[in-house]
Amino acid sequence: MYALQWKEKVCATCPSADCLLKCQYISFARHDEAHGEMMKVVRGEDSRVLHECATCYACEEYCKRGNHPFYLISERREERGMFTAPRPITNQWKNMTQMQGKYMVGQVKDKALSCCFIPDLGILGTGEIFKDVASAVAFGAEFMCPAVHTHFARMSVIKERLPIVIENFVKLGVKEVICLHDECYGTFTAIASAYGIDVPFKPVYYMDFLLSRMKEMKDRIKPLGIKAAYQRPCSNRLIPDKHPLVKEILDLIGVELPNREYQGENCLCCGEILRSVSGYKLADDVQERNLNDMVQTGAEYCVFNCPACQSSLSEKVAKKGLKPVHIIDLCKMALGEKERGVR
Amino acid sequence: MSDILKALIEIVGERGVSNTPEELWFYSRDPGVLTPHLPDYVVAPRTTEEVRKIVLLANREKIPVVPMGNGMSLTGLVIPLKGGIVLDMKRMNKILEVNAMARYAVVEGGTSQGVLKAYLQEHYPQLRHSIPDAPPTTTIAANAALHGQGRLTQQYGFNSEMVTGLEVVLPTGEVCLIGSPSLGPYWFSRGPTMPDLSALFLGWLGTTGIITKIGLRLYPNKKIRDVELFVTDRVDLIPDILYKLTHLEILEDVNVWFQPKPLMFQGNFHITLYFTGDTEEEIAFKRRMVWDALQEYMDSKDGGFMSVQYMKEMLMEMPQRGIADFADVPKGGGFEYSGPITIIEHFPQYAAKVVELAAKYDVLYASSARLISGGHCMMFSISFAFNRNDPAMMTRVKHALDEATAFALEMGGIPWKPNFMEQKMIMEKMDKNALKLLQMIKNNLDPQGIMNPGNWEVNS
Ligand SMILES: Cc1cc2nc3c(=O)[nH]c(=O)nc-3n(C[C@H](O)[C@H](O)[C@H](O)COP(=O)(O)OP(=O)(O)OC[C@H]3O[C@@H](n4cnc5c(N)ncnc54)[C@H](O)[C@@H]3O)c2cc1C
Ligand code: SF4
Ligand code: SF4
């Protein structure tokens, strides 16, 4: 079984303890308190962090010293037999994402277009932007990144399934896998490397692909001239270096990204997992603050990166008067392939 | 051509009668597991007068008459066990009146659920009726005749309790108005404050008369409907959870279901909770009440709310088509359920029995219980899917269903829409004086024993 590669000394001597001091869900008065709790987690002792962490993934971004505090918290919770969400929900996720041989693979050669286990991604990965790779779709639990189980503190599921998913891609003979789901890219890069799991193909982040395709088709872009608030997904915390791509893409298609309180490191997640883990009070509060913050920017659109966020927030943002749209659809709109509007 | 056929043609016209083999074949069976039996004639009347004449003829000639709506009750209730006439009521499908202020509708005896739903949606969008999850082609009168349940049963009781008046053709040919319409033009009460005569026809499965008109309560149709899905893996907690939920007095409908397939549902019990409101605030308030009521199970990690985003469309359907999909899991499109009415306390024992029967008879199960009247009881369905082209599988399902009924009776439950054998089991077990009363009623109303014979055979 793979093990989390953890640099204990790096933690022990950490001057910031940013992982916990910046946490939006657990408050600490001072550095020594936060650091002390993290060290308890490191030593495998009980800590309030194990009971209060809302599983937002953010400390993966806050730690700038190469450690993986959130994976460790999840490991420790599992070691203690703890459940973050109710047990039946945890097991349901495990069952729902179980490989059952019901996958779909298109004409894959050296490149695959990974749609994870999210049907909406198959629709997004079409049109001029994806014309060379759209037929190379890989979809299903067999190709799904198992990162979601970190929310449920079931790292064992990840360690068991991730090598199989990687192997499934390898069997297709691919050199590159374009990940349409943010979380897949995060899994093949950040999680795999934290656990020393070899990924023998090149994972490509779809926003890198999108940016380069849009640059290639620059002449065809009709700037949209709109303002859009961005909903950053939890999984993007695993790959913070990719976050600036959003602005680059939106700049290119004439979409203004207004400043708001909950952006960048201070962003708020879509809240749906919080609903399972902590109940509706926290989830409603997070969603309300997040959406009000979007509204006060005067944005016309809410632009999504992750279809799961889009599915949980679309109706809610629409009720606040914003149009929900995926960033790929915004690009398609700029190319004139798609009507301006809601999807 | 026989004299009877001629007489029938005289009553309903040529297009309203058939005795061609292919048609008789269709009317000899239902989608359940009971053995088919051919009728002699299929007759489709259009008016009460035609029904009356058919019954008089049948009485004179001692021919069985089996009233039929859509034939979807699954337990062989419209299989003409002793031949005779299948009286297909579907051409009597008019909506006669909607009294919006008194919130009732009057429809003909063959009007389907779908027709009334569409009519209300178009003309009275502020009103609705308690639609069952049966196919929309099933009929309102038949549903009342078998004490059906629908979307508003959790709040207001069995659909038969929503009846506000009847017009019935008695087995001897008299046309009888029951309830307030027997005194005046209004169809607002089936009985009270008089003796409630509707009980002579509701639950009798067409063995005491033919309903030609039926009044039905309508209810407010709130602007917004929403749903939550609570799951737990502890069956022992279900009665308590349901008790807490019904205490809220805010839920439209509550269904508890469990099934081994697809895998995502395995191991859990699902409670689908519907609530309605006229504003977003009302919905949000009700949702919070539901969540708060079950917070303790979330804290103990024994239960939680599942995200319904991807299933919402399916869950919100009325009727829910997904129920019928189950029939095709083993391929071959057969499914039948036993649906005893029982107390909620017994949920765990019934749940264990379903799993035991499915394993014993090697059949695929699904179970869904619907709460009735704020939790006074529930309909616990024990459903088995089967391949209609696999007689051995059908026999196994039949045995499993028989055993389920025996179990329900042992547990003090009442089999719902019982087939003729289950009716016998009920009569054997019931209080002897109650059985005598049943005999008195049936023998007086139907002296020739022509109405749906084989069913509620009180004399055998
Ligand atoms: C997928 C599926 C889901 C279902 N879900 C539900 C549900 O949620 N709730 C529910 O209650 N049922 C449900 N059912 C069972 C059944 O379909 C319904 O109860 C339905 O209302 C039966 O109507 P029908 O017109 O098909 O009745 P039929 O089978 O035609 O008749 C039923 C009984 O009523 C008698 N009858 C018919 N018409 C008259 C009349 N005019 N006068 C006197 N007696 C008459 C018949 O002789 C028979 O005994 C379901 C069935 C299926 C297949
Ligand atoms: S996880 Fe990172 S930020 Fe937190 S204490 Fe360790 S080194 Fe510091
Ligand atoms: S995952 Fe989020 S909630 Fe949990 S400790 Fe890290 S930052 Fe805090």
- Residues 6 or more apart whose CB falls under 8 angstroms from that of B317 comprise none
Query: Residue type at A237?
Result: R
B136: tokens are 């929309």
Which residue from B222, B219, B217, B197 is spatially nearest to B208, judged by alpha carbons? B197
CA distance A35 to A48: 12
CA distance B69 to B371: 25
A160: tokens are 């068991």
Using a CB-CB cut-off of 8 Å, the residues of chain A touching B288 are 280
Q: Whole-prediction pTM value?
A: 0.94
Q: In chain A, where are the structural domains located? A: 8-79, 95-210, 218-334
**Least distant ligand from the CA of A62:** 2
Q: Taking each helix axis as running N to C, give the angle between helix A280-296 and helix B280-293, from 0 to 180 degrees, rounded to the nearest 10.
A: 150
Does the fold of domain A218-334 match that of domain A95-210? yes
Over residues A48-101, the pLDDT tens digits come to 999 999 999 999 999 999 999 999 999 999 999 999 999 999 999 999 999 999
Respond yes or no on whether the N-terminal peptide bond of residue B453 is cis (omega within 30° of 0). Answer: no
Using a CB-CB cut-off of 8 Å, the residues of chain A touching B301 are 83, 85-87
Provide φ and ψ at B135, rounded to 5°. -55, 145
Chain B residues 259-298 within an 8 A CB cutoff of chain A? 263-268, 280, 287-288, 291, 295, 297-298
The angle formed by the CA atoms of residues A239, A115 and A90, to the nearest 5 degrees, is 75
Q: What is the CATH number of domain A218-334?
A: 3.40.50.1860
Interchain CB distance below 8 Å, B280 and A319? yes
Given 3.30.43.10, 2.40.40.20, 3.40.190.10, 3.30.565.10, which CATH number is that of B3-90? 3.30.43.10
User: In this predicted structure, which of A84-88, B66-70, B294-298, B309-313 has the lowest mean pLDDT?
Assistant: B309-313
Cα B293 to averaged position of ligand 3 atoms, centre (Å): 28
B443: tokens are 């023998």
Over residues B121-138, the pLDDT tens digits come to 999 999 999 999 999 999
Q: How far is B396 from chain A (nearest CA, A)?
A: 28
Provide φ and ψ at A67, rounded to 5°. -95, 175
CB of A175 closer than 8 Å to CB of A111: yes
What pLDDT sits at residue B328?
73
Among A98, A279, A311, beta carbon nearest to B263: A98
CA distance A165 to B37: 56
**Least distant ligand from the CA of B163:** 1
What pLDDT sits at residue A343?
46
CA distance B15 to B9: 8
Interchain CB distance below 8 Å, B304 and A95? no
CA distance B141 to B88: 12
- Residues 6 or more apart whose CB falls under 8 angstroms from that of B354 comprise B365, B367, B382, B404
What pLDDT sits at residue A341?
59
What pLDDT sits at residue B326?
73
Does the fold of domain B92-220 match that of domain B3-90? no
Q: Please say whether the structural domain B224-410 has been given the CATH code 3.40.50.10490.
A: no
A83 CB neighbour count, 10 Å cutoff: 20
CB of B144 closer than 8 Å to CB of B160: yes
Reported ipTM: the value is: 0.90
Burial A40-66 (b: 16+ CB within 10 A, else e): bbbeeeebebbeebbbbbbbbbbbeee
CA distance A77 to B9: 78
B247: tokens are 């205490």
Over residues B84-124, the pLDDT tens digits come to 999 999 999 999 999 999 999 999 999 999 999 999 999 99
CB of B74 closer than 8 Å to CB of B30: yes
Cα A57 to averaged position of ligand 3 atoms, centre (Å): 6
In residues, how long is chain B? Answer: 460
CB of B363 closer than 8 Å to CB of B260: no
Strands B41-43 and B65-68: unpaired
Positions of chain A with pLDDT under 50: 342-343
What pLDDT sits at residue B366?
92
A281 class by beta-carbon count within 10 Å (0-12 exposed, 13-18 middle, 19+ buried): middle
In residues, how long is chain A? Answer: 343
CA distance A259 to A294: 9
DSSP B363-425: -EEEEEEEEEGGGTEEEEEEEEEEETT-HHHHHHHHHHHHHHHHHHHHTT-B-SS--HHHHHH
Over residues B20-49, the pLDDT tens digits come to 999 999 999 998 889 999 999 999 999 999
Mean pLDDT, chain B, integer: 95
Per-residue pLDDT band for B321 (boundaries 50, 70, 90) equals confident
Q: In chain B, where are the structural domains located? A: 3-90, 92-220, 224-410
Per-residue pLDDT band for B309 (boundaries 50, 70, 90) equals confident
What pLDDT sits at residue B215?
98
Interchain CB distance below 8 Å, B267 and A88? yes
Cα B397 to averaged position of ligand 1 atoms, centre (Å): 21
Given 2.60.120, 3.40.50, 2.160.20, 3.30.420, which CATH number is that of A95-210? 3.40.50
Q: Please say whether the structural domain B92-220 has been given the CATH code 3.30.465.10.
A: yes
